[in-house]
């Protein structure tokens, strides 16, 4: 008997879009097999600039582990400064996976990440090592911990129509279908607005209904949610952005070449392009990126507080050595004993 993940349901959905747009779209919905949920890994999650990368390296080294990155943009090859990839010495200290492995022109999503991360974790465990999933992309982390719900597959004809709308138009239409989801999406994030509205139109219901399967927290998940006091976190973000510019992030963007739509959402990319084109000054560019990153960190904090049961750990209240010791102890206890 074929596994459930091999079956597809074909259906027709009548869509009635704004104004005169209407028609019938042929859709495929994939039924996901939930048996893969990743329970063998230990998770270290939290907002950008909290200090996850350095902390995770020390923990993984103490536990004979390897790191699987759960960052939506560090997975791309290039833009190392802009995406704040870990320093080369950190990458050399313990093996890292899913950092710089995807071309900037390629599209990435939670399902592709889940498949790649699952393969990396399987390989780590096959070598007798411990897997640590480290990152701040809540959707990617949840794709691993909970699996993906059987949502509506993307519809190219509908997507083409929605891509013609502005962010404001998308938001207004999404609010009519699903006000709750609309309030959780950055109004400037056109990709997420488009996908949420697309789901509503394909399923004739709110996008949040596609997340019902995520309601229950799977057993056997272990990890920590690291964060810092707001003022300290914001100061770290501001300093990181200033350091990027001192290290040459403008030249990095100038010579990046073609960038696909997913990588094109990298924080700061559009602002630096505006700087290169002379539309804003360097000072304005820095301030805008700092502000955008602070807002992003706030959304990350909200996500992990609401969407995960990982143990919270305020790094502002613990020294680095103490935090490493606490996390390493918890990680060692979470892994099954190795065979002799």
| Residue with tokens 């995960």, as numbered in its chain | 308
Residue 231 predicted with pLDDT over 80: yes
Instruction: Domain of residue 76: give its range.
Output: 36-148+220-334
| 75 occurs within a structural domain | yes
Q: How many domains does the chain have?
A: 1
| 237 occurs within a structural domain | yes
Residue 25 predicted with pLDDT over 70: no
| 66 occurs within a structural domain | yes
| 178 occurs within a structural domain | no
Which of 39-53, 124-138, 172-186, 313-327 is predicted with the least confidence, judged by mean pLDDT?
A: 172-186
Predicted confidence at residue 152, as pLDDT, reads 53
- Phi first, then psi: give them for residue 287, nearest 5 degrees: -60, -40
| 234 occurs within a structural domain | yes
Which domain CATH number covers 41? 3.40.50.300
- Phi first, then psi: give them for residue 239, nearest 5 degrees: -65, -40
* Range 78-92 average pLDDT: 96
| 267 occurs within a structural domain | yes
Query: pLDDT tens digit string along 256-289?
Result: 999 998 999 999 999 999 999 999 999 999 999 9
Residue 33 predicted with pLDDT over 90: no
Average pLDDT, the chain: 84
Query: pLDDT tens digit string along 168-210?
Result: 999 999 998 888 888 888 888 888 888 888 888 877 778 766 6
Query: Are the CB atoms for 201 and 17 separated by under 8 Å?
Result: yes
- What is d(CA 248, CA 240) in angstroms, rounded to the nearest whole number? 13
| 140 occurs within a structural domain | yes
8-16 vs 22-30, strand pairing mode: antiparallel
Q: What is the pTM of this model?
A: 0.76
* Range 80-97 average pLDDT: 96
- What is d(CA 270, CA 285) in angstroms, rounded to the nearest whole number? 10
Distance from chain centroid for Cα 184? 15
Query: Are the CB atoms for 162 and 170 separated by under 8 Å?
Result: yes
- What is d(CA 9, CA 27) in angstroms, rounded to the nearest whole number? 9
Predicted confidence at residue 68, as pLDDT, reads 98
Q: Which of 148 and 309 is assigned the larger pLDDT?
A: 309
- What is d(CA 281, CA 277) in angstroms, rounded to the nearest whole number? 10
| 172 occurs within a structural domain | no
Predicted confidence at residue 154, as pLDDT, reads 63
- Reported as a pLDDT band with limits 50, 70 and 90, residue 20 is very low
Query: Are the CB atoms for 85 and 268 separated by under 8 Å?
Result: no
- What is d(CA 288, CA 286) in angstroms, rounded to the nearest whole number? 5
């Amino acid at each position: 008997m074929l596994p459930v993940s091999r079956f597809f349901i074909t259906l027709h959905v009548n869509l009635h879009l704004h104004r005169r747009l209407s028609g019938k779209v042929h859709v495929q919905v994939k039924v996901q097999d939930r048996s893969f949920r990743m329970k063998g890994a230990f998770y270290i999650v939290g907002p950008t600039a909290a200090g996850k990368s350095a902390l995770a390296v020390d923990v993984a080294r103490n536990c004979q582990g390897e790191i699987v990155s759960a960052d939506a943009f560090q997975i791309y090859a290039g833009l190392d400064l802009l995406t704040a990839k870990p320093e080369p010495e950190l990458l050399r200290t313990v093996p890292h996976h899913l950092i710089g492995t995807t071309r900037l022109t390629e599209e990435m999503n939670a399902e592709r990440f889940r498949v790649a991360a699952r393969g990396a974790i399987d390989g780590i465990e096959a070598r007798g090592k411990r897997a640590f999933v480290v990152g701040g992309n809540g959707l990617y982390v949840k794709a691993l911990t909970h699996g993906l719900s059987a949502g509506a597959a993307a519809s190219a004809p509908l997507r083409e129509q929605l891509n013609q709308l502005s962010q404001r138009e998308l938001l207004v239409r999404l609010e009519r279908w699903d006000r709750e989801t609309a309030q959780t999406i950055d109004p400037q994030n056109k990709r997420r607005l488009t996908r949420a509205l697309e789901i509503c139109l394909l399923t004739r219901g709110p996008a949040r209904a596609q997340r019902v399967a995520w309601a229950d927290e799977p057993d056997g998940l272990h990890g920590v949610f690291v964060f810092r006091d707001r003022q300290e976190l914001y100061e770290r973000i501001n300093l990181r952005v200033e350091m990027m510019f001192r290290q040459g992030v403008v030249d990095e963007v100038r010579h990046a070449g073609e960038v696909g739509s997913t990588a094109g959402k990298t924080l700061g990319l559009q602002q630096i392009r505006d700087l290169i084109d002379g539309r804003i000054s360097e000072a304005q560019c820095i301030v805008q990126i700092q502000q955008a990153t602070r807002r992003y960190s706030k959304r990350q904090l909200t996500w992990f507080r609401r969407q995960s049961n990982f143990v919270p750990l305020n790094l502002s209240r613990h020294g680095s050595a103490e935090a490493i010791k606490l996390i390493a102890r918890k990680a060692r206890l979470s892994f099954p004993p190795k065979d002799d």
